[in-house]
A and B are shown apart, each in its own frame.
Chain A
Amino acid sequence: MRGRRLLYAMAIVSLLVASAFSFAAPLILKVTIDGVIGQRPIDAPRWVQGLFESISGSLMLPRYLWVFASLLLAAAVAEGTFTYLKGRWSAFAAEAIARHVRDHLYDKLQHLPCRYYDDAETGDLVQRCTSDVETVRMFLATQVVELARVAANLVVVVPIVLWLDWKMAIAATAVMPIIVIFAIVFFLKVKRSFKAADEAEGSLTSVIQENLTGIRVVRAFANQAFECGKFDVRNSDHRDKDRHLYTVFCWYWSISDALVFAQMGLALFAGAYWVANGRITIGTLVAFWMIMGILIWPVRQMGRILSLLGKALVSLQRVNEVLAATVESDPSEPHHDLPRRLDGGLVFEDVCFSHAKESPVVRGVSFAVAPGETLAILGPSGSGKSTIVNLLLRLYDYDAGHITVDGFQLSRLPRQYVRSQIGVVMQEPFLYSKTVRDNVKLGRHEARDEEMIHATQLAAVHESIEQFDSGYDTLVGERGVTLSGGQRQRIALARALLQQPPILILDDAFSAVDTHTEARITEALRQRAGRYTTLVIAHRLSTLRQADKVIVIEDGAITQSGTHDELIAADGLYRRLWRIQGGPDSGSGAGNKQGDGSQS
């Protein structure tokens, strides 16, 4: 921050210097017109007079005109240089602040708890991180500088104009406050028109968007004409609101221009009158004329800038809200004696969890899995299976009970440590817009290509990947290849396998994989049984059968648990399903199928 403050300070100083030089030109002109061309003694401070006398004697000589012309140019060069420096340094400062804020936001977003995201809207969050930051940056880079320029101009110009002639000073600035006030009032008033135009554009955009995303529905009902009518209403409204805005600006600019003309006229004719009177010199009039020209543009901008100030403050607040949110907590005293890799023994004891103020999602769940064992979880959707996974990953913190891994209390372990010990494949896996290779290697960055290919072969996705245009270097996502649900699931599986975690979680991970491929994967996994503790959430009995132990969850609680054999021996959901499905080797397919028909 210190560096940026220094840059900002340097920018402001440059601005002051540039402003000072910009007022040099009118003064040089005054001296030239009065002293050289007009051939009269100049009313400048004694040392300036001395300087001139030492060059040319007491009289300003026409042949020295080039000196003044060069001075004029030199002042412009100096002004230009400092203006550039101001622009440069303020850009560096503002951009650095913006980058800092963006980085900070990104870091923050990654560390906010999942609960935060349950209530947040993606679009709104992204907007806070991008356009709100941009509004603040614009404010820092340009508007603050513009305000500073007005202040700098005032600081520099007031002594100059008072020294030149105070009556003329009043004549040359009398209308300016009116211009500023007019602009401020205007921009406050016009806010509503701006908003109306923005809203009209917004609703036009959403009509187009809905039409395009729903183009199939439009065609299905042959409603093109209706859609065109709906579109036309918004399109016309948008046009009319925009026209209204233009009309409003017609008044603003013409009146503001007229005020500027009034200011110039006042200065010109008052000045001319005083010149005729002999009260001021013609050089003074010309100098004032130019000074006015320098002052008037920033003054005209004031209204707009001040109205943007409010916008910037709102954006700043929106950004700060995100930055102020509480991040995931971790235990205060870090464990020192944690093994690099856990064995993966899991124990759940009376674990309860509920989302804020809602009825519990998980109630009193207890089970134990020994290292290397496979536990299958079966249950209807919404029964709490995925919540168990989220608790294990410490994405959420359980409300009551205990979870231990190899005897360590889960809630006392650092979150990142816990997650590094678990490989997880979700039903709808998220892939990053990177290459396939990068996506597979996400879990273990340093893995060699052979290891990666081994993992993709296990996940039965290697051949599909090879068929992409650039194989493993194909980009995933909108700008690259669009993957099917099954491909995504298999790539996510390869990603998890490459991690070689002690605990592997498959959360309905093959729902979009066809039966044949799933069998291949299950077989490959079975051969590697014992390497990881595995939690499988699945519907297909072929998968469930291979588990060491199965628990059945209904409505957040375990209703049945045991081995496959135990469960088919007992009455319950598991056996009913087994009957329906007519297991691959039950040999009673036909009878069961008949049974199905009659059952439903």
Chain B
Amino acid sequence: MNAIAYHDDDPVARRFDWSLWRKVLAFGRPFKRWFALLCMVAIVLAGCEVALPLIIAAVIDEVTIDPANARLGPHMLVFAVVCGANLVCVWLFIYSAGQIATGVGYHIRDVSFRKLQELDFAYFDRRPVGWLMARLTSDCNGLARIMGWALLDAVWGTAMIIGIVIAMLILHWKLALAVLVIVPPLAFICRHYQFRLLISSRAVRKANSHVTAAFNESIMGVRTTKALVRERRNFEEFEQTSTRMYDDSILNSLYAAAFLPLTTTLCAAGVGIALWYGGVQVITGSMTLGTLVAFLSFAGHLANPIQEMARTITLIQGAQASAERIQGLIDTEPAIADSPDVAASTQPEPDAIGRIDFHEVTFGYNPDAPVLRDFTLTVEPGQTIAFVGPTGGGKSTVAALLCRFYEPTRGQVMLDGIDYRQRRIAWLQSKLGIVLQTPHLFSGSIRENIRYGRTDASDDEVAHASRVVNADAFISDLPDGYDTEVGEGGSQLSTGQKQLVALARAILADPQIFVMDEATSSVDTETEQLLQAGIERVLGSRTSFVIAHRLSTIRNADRIVVIDDGRIVEQGSHAELLKRDGRYAELYRQHFVEEHLLSGAG
């Protein structure tokens, strides 16, 4: 739903940014041949359309000048040829435009998607998923359409106008000039109205997104609305929203309603001029009747190519914002990437990660508001470290920094004494296994989701991993077992089940270092106990970081680190900290009661 809100928010550019479009056009380079074909076909097609009135002229002259000896056969032949050429050209025209539009769309989307896979998390933090989605869907489609169709219309329109003008000038240059008087106002009207339509249709779309948001809100908040007895006021507010959409739509419809009549009237003026001035020429004998009819036809059809051209220009204008956003995305350099030195280095990376040091690390998602301050922590290989503390205190940030999803603003994270910025990101991340609190699953079967941890794992390995975390119990209860579809985002499973699948996935990856961010918060107590045994077995020899909700998970840690307000407040073992009766003891008591209640209390 939200994606709607992210379309076309930017004002329409009035000025063409040529350098931008040159970059966008570069996406069409693989389709050079198709472009060439498209242009040729467009010219032939325009030729067909120009030829038609000429054939009529010839036929009329044939039957009016000397009706007794009229021979229609040759004209029929010419007509058939034009008809055939038209058929082939239309086919090729659409086909090549389709090849270009779909190909370019594929290409732009591919490049954008790959870029997104490289960008750092800070980039995603600043942009809602809906916004990014709109880039990869509507923006890409829009640009692709322009590359295919707009170009096609531009070539066709130009060829058509030139063809008509040349034909008219050759037939009767004075009459041609008289009729062409209507072209400047026609062009002006087309351009003006198309631009108006672009603006007003955006307004409609925007109003529509407000209406959609209002519906969404009314459904999501229906209980609150009822509890607060807000029905009438909400309705009054909605009436304003829907009236705004009504007004914008009416304006848009009125522009559209006025546009066509204006152009047809102008064309009628052209036809009138042709009839008046041309009629005199026919009567005085300086022009044939057929030529007059051809002129009438040309004048009547002048509007088409001009309309198309105006539409194309406006379309490109309207898409400039899309082009800017896409190009902006593609040009973004990931803030976290292997430095050139690291990338160039041929030295093999070490096999294992031993000691991990956080050395005076300061970090903030927003540089002005640090989340961690001078955070220092040393973890020996094989240790299990539990982070506890209030929400927003910085626990998850430590984990994110360790995974190098972000880099410290100040200070260093050292792996065996070497700053991790001197290592490859891919190397580090391949050593890590991360399980998050909100276990994101992908649509597909359970098996596919577990295998996500290591894409080349066999079915047996998948089953083994899920046995370790006791996920196989619920999986085998499902009708299709491991082949059960989890639905979009895992919607067919409960949060607890999703967490188990996510754990199995991490275990299958067999990482050297485990990071668990409240990974089992929604698993029921009984399963949790089973799970715990498995996890302990797995964690056993590995270095692991656990941000835990469950006391049982914390209690067995080698060291518990209490983090509040970006600093370490206390650290030590469970027993030590309880003895100290400080923050940990307080948190522990609080957790205990809640856990007791949530789990079904005694």
B276 in the interface (beta carbon within 8 A): yes
Nearest CB in chain A: distance from B76 CB, A: 6
A238 in the interface (beta carbon within 8 A): yes
Q: Which 8 pairs between the two chains have the least Cβ-Cβ distance?
A: A87-B257, A246-B98, A76-B268, A80-B261, A91-B253, A220-B434, A69-B276, A214-B440
A494 in the interface (beta carbon within 8 A): no
Cβ A210 vs Cβ B489 within 8 A: yes
For A338, list chain B residues within 8 Å (CB): none
In the bound complex, CA of A541 to CA of B506 (Å): 38
**At the interface with chain A, which of B10-18, B23-31, B185-193, B240-248?**
B240-248
B315 in the interface (beta carbon within 8 A): no
In the bound complex, CA of A554 to CA of B489 (Å): 33
B208 in the interface (beta carbon within 8 A): yes
Cβ B589 vs Cβ A130 within 8 A: no
Cβ A541 vs Cβ B218 within 8 A: no
Cβ A381 vs Cβ B221 within 8 A: no
For B173, list chain A residues within 8 Å (CB): none
A95 in the interface (beta carbon within 8 A): yes
Within 8 A of A (CB), among B560-581: 578, 581
Cβ B403 vs Cβ A246 within 8 A: no
- Tell me the nearest residue of chain A to B509, going by C-beta: A221
In the bound complex, CA of A420 to CA of B232 (Å): 13
Within 8 A of B (CB), among A583-600: 589-590, 593, 596-597, 600
Question: Which among A141, A272, A380 is the interface contact of B253 at CB below 8 angstroms?
Answer: A141
Known: A73-B265, A123-B1, A214-B442. 18 other contacts (CB 8 A): A72-B275, A76-B268, A83-B257, A91-B257, A95-B253, A98-B249, A102-B242, A212-B124, A220-B403, A222-B426, A228-B114, A242-B98, A243-B98, A254-B91, A268-B79, A282-B64, A429-B224, A433-B213
Task: Annotate A414-429 by CB proximity to B: 1 below 8 A, 0 otherwise.
Answer: 0110011010101001
In the bound complex, CA of A478 to CA of B130 (Å): 11
Within 8 A of B (CB), among A100-120: 102-103, 105-107, 109-112, 114, 117, 120
* Given known A-B contacts A246-B94, A577-B596, A238 and B106 have beta carbons under 8 A apart: yes
In the bound complex, CA of A65 to CA of B216 (Å): 64
B488 in the interface (beta carbon within 8 A): yes
**At the interface with chain B, which of A25-33, A50-58, A165-173, A525-533?**
A25-33
In the bound complex, CA of A161 to CA of B509 (Å): 79
A10 in the interface (beta carbon within 8 A): no
For A98, list chain B residues within 8 Å (CB): 246, 249
Cβ A250 vs Cβ B56 within 8 A: no
Within 8 A of B (CB), among A247-281: 247, 249-251, 253-255, 257-258, 261-262, 264-265, 268-269, 272-273, 275-278
Nearest CB in chain B: distance from A34 CB, A: 11
* Given known A-B contacts A83-B261, A258-B86, A282-B64, A239 and B103 have beta carbons under 8 A apart: yes
Best-buried of B1, B391, B405, B597 by chain A (most CB within 10 Å):
B597
A400 in the interface (beta carbon within 8 A): no
Nearest CB in chain A: distance from B110 CB, A: 6
For B103, list chain A residues within 8 Å (CB): 239
For A125, list chain B residues within 8 Å (CB): 215, 219
Cβ A210 vs Cβ B442 within 8 A: yes
In the bound complex, CA of A286 to CA of B297 (Å): 10
A540 in the interface (beta carbon within 8 A): yes
B432 in the interface (beta carbon within 8 A): yes
Question: Which among A87, A111, A395, A540 is the interface contact of B254 at CB below 8 angstroms?
Answer: A87
A520 in the interface (beta carbon within 8 A): no
Nearest CB in chain B: distance from A67 CB, A: 9
How many residues on chain B are close to A (CB under 8 Å)? 157
In the bound complex, CA of A252 to CA of B246 (Å): 36
Within 8 A of A (CB), among B76-116: 76, 79-80, 82-83, 86-88, 90-92, 94-95, 97-99, 101-103, 105-106, 109-110, 113-114, 116
Question: Which among B254, B452, B597 is the interface contact of A91 at CB below 8 angstroms?
Answer: B254
In the bound complex, CA of A73 to CA of B265 (Å): 7
Within 8 A of A (CB), among B255-306: 256-258, 260-262, 264-265, 267-269, 271-273, 275-276, 279-280, 282-283, 289, 292-293, 296, 300
For B552, list chain A residues within 8 Å (CB): 600
Nearest CB in chain A: distance from B132 CB, A: 5
Cβ A210 vs Cβ B488 within 8 A: yes
- Tell me the nearest residue of chain B to A433, going by C-beta: B217
Cβ B261 vs Cβ A81 within 8 A: yes
* Given known A-B contacts A205-B137, A224-B117, A286-B293, A110 and B94 have beta carbons under 8 A apart: no
Cβ A272 vs Cβ B62 within 8 A: yes
- Tell me the nearest residue of chain B to A242, going by C-beta: B102
**At the interface with chain A, which of B67-75, B159-167, B319-327, B372-380?**
B67-75
How many residues on chain A are close to B (CB under 8 Å)? 157
For A445, list chain B residues within 8 Å (CB): 233
In the bound complex, CA of A213 to CA of B443 (Å): 12
Interface of A is mostly: helix
Question: Which among B94, B264, B300 is the interface contact of A80 at CB below 8 angstroms?
Answer: B264
For A429, list chain B residues within 8 Å (CB): 224
For A216, list chain B residues within 8 Å (CB): 121, 405, 434, 436, 440
For A380, list chain B residues within 8 Å (CB): 597-601
For A228, list chain B residues within 8 Å (CB): 113-114, 117
A346 in the interface (beta carbon within 8 A): no
In the bound complex, CA of A125 to CA of B215 (Å): 9
Within 8 A of B (CB), among A39-76: 39, 62, 65-66, 68-70, 72-73, 75-76
15 CB contacts below 8 A, A to B, read A33-B289, A62-B283, A65-B279, A117-B222, A122-B219, A235-B106, A246-B102, A265-B79, A265-B83, A426-B224, A478-B5, A515-B586, A573-B601, A576-B601, A577-B596
Cβ A276 vs Cβ B433 within 8 A: no
- Tell me the nearest residue of chain A to B88, going by C-beta: A254
In the bound complex, CA of A406 to CA of B67 (Å): 104
In the bound complex, CA of A290 to CA of B53 (Å): 12
A443 in the interface (beta carbon within 8 A): yes
B553 in the interface (beta carbon within 8 A): no
For B56, list chain A residues within 8 Å (CB): 268, 289
Question: Which among B59, B97, B222 is the interface contact of A110 at CB below 8 angstroms?
Answer: B222
For B268, list chain A residues within 8 Å (CB): 25, 72-73, 75-77
In the bound complex, CA of A255 to CA of B88 (Å): 10
Best-buried of A86, A215, A593 by chain B (most CB within 10 Å):
A215
A453 in the interface (beta carbon within 8 A): no
Question: Which among A87, A272, A515 is the interface contact of B256 at CB below 8 angstroms?
Answer: A87
Within 8 A of B (CB), among A139-179: 141
Question: Which among B83, B257, B442, B600 is the interface contact of A88 at CB below 8 angstroms?
Answer: B257
In the bound complex, CA of A495 to CA of B592 (Å): 31
For B257, list chain A residues within 8 Å (CB): 83-84, 86-88, 91
Within 8 A of B (CB), among A392-432: 393, 395, 415-416, 419-420, 422, 424, 426, 429-430, 432
A231 in the interface (beta carbon within 8 A): yes
In the bound complex, CA of A141 to CA of B256 (Å): 12
Cβ A126 vs Cβ B253 within 8 A: no
For B231, list chain A residues within 8 Å (CB): 107, 110-111, 416
Cβ B455 vs Cβ A223 within 8 A: yes
Question: Which among B94, B129, B228 is the interface contact of A213 at CB below 8 angstroms?
Answer: B129
Question: Which among A37, A79, A80, A205 is the interface contact of B283 at CB below 8 angstroms?
Answer: A37
A219 in the interface (beta carbon within 8 A): yes
A99 in the interface (beta carbon within 8 A): yes
A580 in the interface (beta carbon within 8 A): yes
For A554, list chain B residues within 8 Å (CB): 601
For A105, list chain B residues within 8 Å (CB): 215
B540 in the interface (beta carbon within 8 A): no
Cβ A282 vs Cβ B60 within 8 A: yes
* Given known A-B contacts A254-B87, A430-B221, A593 and B598 have beta carbons under 8 A apart: no
Question: Which among B59, B86, B282 is the interface contact of A269 at CB below 8 angstroms?
Answer: B59
In the bound complex, CA of A251 to CA of B92 (Å): 10
For B246, list chain A residues within 8 Å (CB): 95-96, 98-99
B537 in the interface (beta carbon within 8 A): no
Cβ B589 vs Cβ A581 within 8 A: yes
